[in-house]
Amino acid sequence: MNQPLRKLTAIVIVMFLMLIGALTYIHFFQAPSLNADSRNVRTIYQEYGTDRGNIVVAGEPIADSVPAKGQYKFQRTYADGPLYAPITGYFSVAYNSLTGLERSQNTLLSGSDSSLITQRIQELITGKQPRGGSVALTINPAVQKAAMDALDGRTGAVVAIEPTTGKILALVSSPSFDPNKLASHTFATAEEAWNAYQADEQQPLLNRAIGGDLYPPGSTFKIVTASAMLESGLTPDSMVDAPTSYTLPGTNTQIYNAVGVCGDGSGKATLRTALVLSCNTTFAAGGVAVGAEKLIEKAKQYGFGQDLDIGLPTTASRFPQPADKASLAMDSFGQKDVQASPLQMAMIAAAVANHGTLMKPYLVDQTLTADLAVVSQTNPTVFSQPISRTTADQLTSMMKDVVSHTPSAAVSGVNTAGKTGTAENAGDDHAWYIGFEAAEKSRIAVAVFVEHGGFGSVTAAPIAAQVIQAATS
């Protein structure tokens, strides 16, 4: 064989080996990511050829599949679509996309998850139509509906947690959207809904409950600062600085209390009084005295800066290293650089309600086969121990006094504890409230956020009261 022919043969062999290598890499190594890619039209075609499993709340499907005519064999439908849309998300063939639990639980719902291997073998042997598995949620339908009804169309969010287990009882974002429209097999219908949602200034596709956007928590963050102050050696009855105004360290800038005079006007008050009256000056000075490192660590123990995998993608709340003591002072009462989600603030309330133990929040209670046999059960697990039981009891006592001072937060026949928040913002102030049933075994902790809602005591607290009432009735 002459030299040119040998070179050509070598090149052909190398090219052949490269082709085999590329095909092997794509089929064996890239296959999972390619199948998961929302742009993969073949995946969507395959998904719509499967009787997709249900998403279930209290034994009733809130998302299921029904037979359909045309190239797609099944149509995804959503009961009470807008009520549960922040949880279910949508499954859209028109836009070749999945969101929410439809995305995070896709392999189970589509029937391709390895946990369903026995079911898949049985379907193969019997020739039955492939079916997906189902997902049973922790949501309490009465609490979910009460939260949505109480928001009454206002822009905001509610998250409710069972403190002793971490079960998420309600997760509401308002305004919501109708996933049925986006799941339509008629492209024109889906496109019209999509364009309307995208053009809506209130961003109904944004899940305000768990992130995407974060918000200054305002005075609800004072529970974190109060935790650090109590664990530095103070008690609820300790006298603390409570001046009418406070000069931020290293500046000539003064901050003031929303109530004006804090306590008796002497410049001193008990920590209990400072929390009840929500004195900014006390917690600004208190945060500076505790120090940035200890306050940041306390926030982290409550969940700030950490991955909060609840079965849906979440945005970590932020408490960055303050640039200086002036920034720390502002951060200490929930302004400046502190940013939080309603989920995060509900976790703070839940930790206090559960005597200092923060349980890991979760949304998926069980995964099931198509025949509703249990595949997996989520067991409650401890997320952290941000405060001692003594500190939790002290905070509960102080937060019960907050409710006594805030009639709009009271729940008839139920002992409750809470904290209002009014967060300054570029536009109108945001309204916050966090609270819980004050009992040995608390049934609910809740966070309410109303965007541009003004005073927390006026707007957010009554919403929380209705949600707590629904959980304890």
Pick the closest to residue 346 from 201, 473, 157, 191 (CA basis).
157
In residues, how long is the chain?
A: 473
Q: Which residues pair with 269 in a beta bridge?
A: 240
3-state secondary structure of 240: strand
Residue 448 is predicted with a pLDDT of: 98
- Using pLDDT thresholds of 50, 70 and 90, give the confidence band for residue 418: very high
Give the distance from CA 350 to its chain's centroid. 13
Q: Report cis status (omega within 30 of 0) of the bond before 175.
A: yes
Token digits of residue 302:
């409550």
CA-CA distance, 241 to 245, in Å (whole number)? 11
- Using pLDDT thresholds of 50, 70 and 90, give the confidence band for residue 12: confident
CA-CA distance, 21 to 5, in Å (whole number)? 24
Least confident of 134-143, 257-266, 374-383, 430-439: 257-266
With tokens 């998403």, the residue in question is 55
* C-alpha distances out from residue 388 to 148, 394, 417, 418, 467, Å: 34, 10, 18, 18, 27
Query: Three-state SS across 117-182?
Result: HHHHHHHHHHCCCCECCEEEECCCHHHHHHHHHHHCCCCEEEEEECCCCCEEEEEEEECCCCHHHH
Tell me: the pLDDT tens digits for 437-453? 999 999 999 999 999 99
Average pLDDT value for residue range 132-137: 92
Question: Quick check: is 219 catalytic?
Answer: yes
Q: Which residue has the higher pLDDT, 75 or 444?
A: 444
CB atoms within 10 A of CB 181: 21
CB of 353 within 8 A of CB of 437? yes
Residue 467 is predicted with a pLDDT of: 98
Tell me: the pLDDT tens digits for 87-115? 999 999 888 889 999 999 999 998 887 77
3-state secondary structure of 253: coil
Q: Which amino acid is at 62?
A: I
CA-CA distance, 302 to 318, in Å (whole number)? 12
Query: Three-state SS across 25-40?
Result: HHHHHCHHHHHHCCCC
Residue 29 is predicted with a pLDDT of: 56
Tell me: the pLDDT tens digits for 309-319? 899 999 999 99
Catalytically annotated residue among 65, 174, 184, 219: 219
Tell me: the pLDDT tens digits for 450-470? 999 999 999 999 999 999 999
Token digits of residue 155:
């822009």
CB of 204 within 8 A of CB of 195? no
To the nearest 10°, the Cα dihedral for 367, 370, 371, 373?
-20
With tokens 């206002």, the residue in question is 154
CA-CA distance, 52 to 428, in Å (whole number)? 44
3-state secondary structure of 358: strand
Angle at the Cα of 454 from the Cα atoms of 256 and 149, rounded to 5 degrees:
150
Residue 16 is predicted with a pLDDT of: 76
Pick the closest to residue 139 from 197, 181, 80, 180 (CA basis).
80
CB of 341 within 8 A of CB of 310? no
Residue 11 is predicted with a pLDDT of: 77
Q: What phi, psi does 244 have (nearest 5°)?
A: -70, -35
Give the distance from CA 441 to its chain's centroid. 23
To the nearest 10°, the Cα dihedral for 422, 423, 427, 428?
0
- Using pLDDT thresholds of 50, 70 and 90, give the confidence band for residue 33: low
Residue 49 is predicted with a pLDDT of: 64
Percentage, residues of the chain above pLDDT 90: 75
Token digits of residue 423:
């967060």
CA-CA distance, 412 to 245, in Å (whole number)? 37
Least confident of 4-13, 89-98, 196-205, 342-351: 4-13
Average pLDDT value for residue range 251-260: 92
Pick the closest to residue 206 from 341, 93, 348, 362 (CA basis).
341
Residue 34 is predicted with a pLDDT of: 58
